[in-house]
Amino acid sequence: MMRAVMVTGSSQGVGLGIAKVFLKHGWRVFGVDQKPASEMVATESSYAHVTADLRDGNACEQAVTECVRRFGRLDALVNNAGLGNARGFLETTDDDYERYYSINVRPVLRLCRLALPALKQSHGAIVNIASVFGMIGAAGSAAYVPTKFAVVGITKMLATEFGKDGIRVNAVAPGLIWSPGTDDRIKNNAWWHRMMIEGCPLGRVGQPEEIGEACAFLASDAASFINGVVLPVDGGWSIAKFLPQSADA
């Protein structure tokens, strides 16, 4: 029987890339997003979609219930939906922190809890989308960075607690990946370009499908003994302290 995965934030950017890769690998994909399904996957027979705001606890429950009803099983959960583009610490308000937590953290906890019964039956996997900023910290993202550190902590906690049930929980930590939300900064923000692209050993922006391939690997049997890992997919950005002056230096 074909395996089934739920992917949140599946209508654009990284989430759409993840959905496309799982479909390519023969999975059935249940997408969840505030927006309708992308035309790039909507016509696929193995793709189903629900439009929902995951800040609503009832919407989380309904999404998991509908996924299991539609496919009869759940083998993997990819918690990708999130909010970026935060501001510096002194410009960040209490409302900002609540907004980022309500999108980047609370739905991850809810969906993992709600999906666990089905995942126990399939000995499935959870893949949480963290960030390199949630591994090493970064200036100018005061509300975003703590939430991604929280995702890393959730990943390690769940991996420890539910490994006994045959459930593996890992995270992918993207670097700079192209999406509608990052496109403007990539093109027009010189500081961002210098820090995130020129400061990356591979010297380029990552593509959503490259995050998708990492997620599909961690959800697959090929990763059957990998649990509690945070995998950077960032072109080496998170380790690049002293880059050569030129490509042939």
Is 144 a known active-site residue?
yes
Claim: this prediction has a pTM higher than 0.85 = yes
From the candidates 47, 97, 100, 144, which is the catalytic residue?
144
pLDDT in tens, 40-98: 999 999 999 999 999 999 999 999 999 999 999 999 999 999 998 889 999 999 999 99
Cα separation, 55 vs 58, in Å, equals 9
**Segments in 39-169 forming alpha helices (H):** 39-42, 57-71, 94-104, 106-122, 133-136, 144-162
Tokens 């390690």 found at: 156
pLDDT in tens, 20-33: 999 999 999 999 99
The pLDDT value recorded for residue 246 is 62
The pLDDT value recorded for residue 26 is 98
The pLDDT value recorded for residue 143 is 96
Go through the domains of the chain in sequence order and give each one's CATH number: 4-178+207-239 (3.40.50.720)
pLDDT in tens, 139-191: 889 999 999 999 999 999 999 999 999 999 999 999 999 988 788 888 888 88
CA angle, 219 as apex, 17 and 2 as ends, to 5°? Answer: 85
